């Protein structure tokens, strides 16, 4: 029997019904003539998933909710950036050794690359897993961060860890923010008419980045466009963090070549 040299990659998390990762990574393999296939591997037990990664083997695993923190103890090594952020969203299996990385931060950096951040007032909504990678990037770019979160204590933890201040609700309309970033799931399908901020707070010239990518254009981004803000979509972050995963696995440069259009097309279907 011929042994296929096809490689397997996976997205792991729970639930995984909505994941667009296989579509994106498999399009990348096709375009680059790489004999590999990404499959969705839903599972609640992270230890079992790690065993599958070792045994199958899975060469690259994209890690999503709720495993980004809990998978860390099963890694053979963890990249320094991922350690500082406190979350792993990528596992690379190098000859049986599992190495953990965080590529969300690369997706964030690429999405924000044209936005001046040094000494700019940046409001971050949310203090969960994605906000950790955001905090890491904003600290490195010397932004003046204001953290706002439903559970104030978690915003305090973010300010303590990455710097910045905790914003009271009254400060949201009173402060002149240069950049507003949503890292909460508010506005995500199916609740597409919800926004994490009242439209009246938005001002022309602000940059508004919503990391929610489903729908492609959230209510927050629609309101921001109507107010004359510059908008950045979570699709860019999603594609860039995925391409960074391929860079880490293949150990070579890869191009962002038409993948955002592919994802937007799928989201609009
Ligand atoms: P998470 O760890 O569960 O954190 C969610 C945060 O949002 C928490 O701060 C939570 O506040 C807040 N929140 C949740 N529901 C809320 C509500 N109804 N009202 C007010 N605040 C609420 O989630 P995550 O991993 O950071 O992911 C957040 C979103 O980012 C998801 O939609 C995810 O799909 C998206 N994401 C996108 C990308 C991308 O590549 N574009 C990458 C990663 C994540 P509490 O602290 O009060 O609970």
Q: Tell me: the pLDDT tens digits for 230-253?
A: 999 999 999 999 999 999 999 999
CA–CA distance, 58 with 66 (Å, rounded to integer): 19
The answer, yes or no, to whether residue 2 has pLDDT greater than 60, is: no
**What integer pLDDT is reported at residue 174 of this predicted model?**
83
**What integer pLDDT is reported at residue 73 of this predicted model?**
98
Q: Phi and psi (nearest 5°) for 5?
A: -95, 20
Residue 3 pLDDT grade (very low, low, confident, very high; cuts 50, 70, 90): low
Atom of ligand 1 nearest to the CA of 234: 41
Residues 6+ apart with CB under 8 A from 162: 132, 135, 136, 138, 139, 145
Q: Which two tokens stand for residue 46?
A: 């992270």
Residues recognised as catalytic: 68
The answer, yes or no, to whether residue 10 has pLDDT greater than 60, is: yes
Residue with tokens 């350690």: 83
**What integer pLDDT is reported at residue 106 of this predicted model?**
98
Residues 6+ apart with CB under 8 A from 106: 240, 241, 244
The answer, yes or no, to whether residue 39 has pLDDT greater than 50, is: yes
Predicted model pTM: 0.96
Residue nearest to atom 34 of ligand 1 (CA): 212
Q: What is the mean pLDDT of the chain?
A: 96
**What integer pLDDT is reported at residue 1 of this predicted model?**
47
CA–CA distance, 88 with 67 (Å, rounded to integer): 8
Average pLDDT estimate for 23-38:
98
User: By the 8 A CB rule, do 60 and 245 touch?
Assistant: yes
Average pLDDT estimate for 212-236:
96
* Residues above pLDDT 90, as percent of the chain: 93
**Side-chain half-sphere CA neighbours of 142 within 13 A:** 3
Give the SS3 label for residue 48. Answer: helix
**What integer pLDDT is reported at residue 167 of this predicted model?**
96
Residue of 66, 69, 167, 211 to mutate, ligand 1, most atoms within 8 A of C-beta: 211
Residue nearest to atom 46 of ligand 1 (CA): 151
Taking the centre of ligand 1 as the mean of its atom positions, its distance from the CA of residue 214, in whole angstroms, is 13
- Tens of pLDDT, residue by residue over 160-190, are 999 999 999 888 988 899 999 999 999 999 9
User: CB within 6 Å of ligand 1 — which residues?
Assistant: 65, 104, 107, 126-131, 149-151, 154, 183-186, 188, 211-213, 234, 237-238, 241
């Amino acid at each position: 029997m011929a042994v296929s040299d096809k490689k397997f990659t996976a997205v792991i998390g729970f639930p995984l019904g909505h994941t667009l990762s296989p579509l994106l990574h498999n399009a990348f393999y096709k375009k680059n003539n790489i004999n590999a296939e990404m499959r969705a591997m839903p599972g609640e037990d992270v230890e079992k998933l790690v065993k599958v990664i070792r045994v199958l083997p899975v060469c690259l695993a994209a890690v999503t909710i709720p495993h980004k923190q809990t998978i860390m103890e099963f890694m053979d090594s963890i990249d320094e950036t991922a350690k500082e952020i406190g979350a792993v969203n990528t596992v690379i299996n190098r000859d049986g050794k599992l190495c953990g990385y965080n590529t969300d931060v690369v997706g964030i950096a690429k999405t924000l690359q044209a936005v001046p951040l040094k000494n700019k007032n940046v409001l971050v909504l949310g203090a969960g897993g994605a906000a950790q990678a955001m905090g890491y990037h904003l600290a490195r770019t010397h932004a003046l961060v204001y953290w706002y979160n439903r559970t104030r204590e978690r915003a305090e933890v973010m300010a303590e860890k990455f710097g910045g201040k905790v914003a009271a609700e009254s400060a949201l309309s009173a402060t002149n923010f240069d950049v507003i970033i949503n890292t909460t799931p508010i506005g995500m399908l199916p609740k597409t008419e919800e926004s994490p901020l009242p439209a009246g707070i938005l001002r022309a010239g602000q940059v508004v980045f919503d990391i929610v990518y489903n729908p492609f254009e959230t209510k927050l981004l629609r309101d921001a466009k109507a107010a004359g803000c510059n908008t950045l979509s979570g699709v860019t972050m999603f594609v860039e963090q995925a391409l960074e995963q391929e860079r880490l696995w293949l150990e070579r440069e890869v191009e962002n070549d038409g993948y955002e259009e592919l994802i937007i097309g799928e989201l609009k279907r």
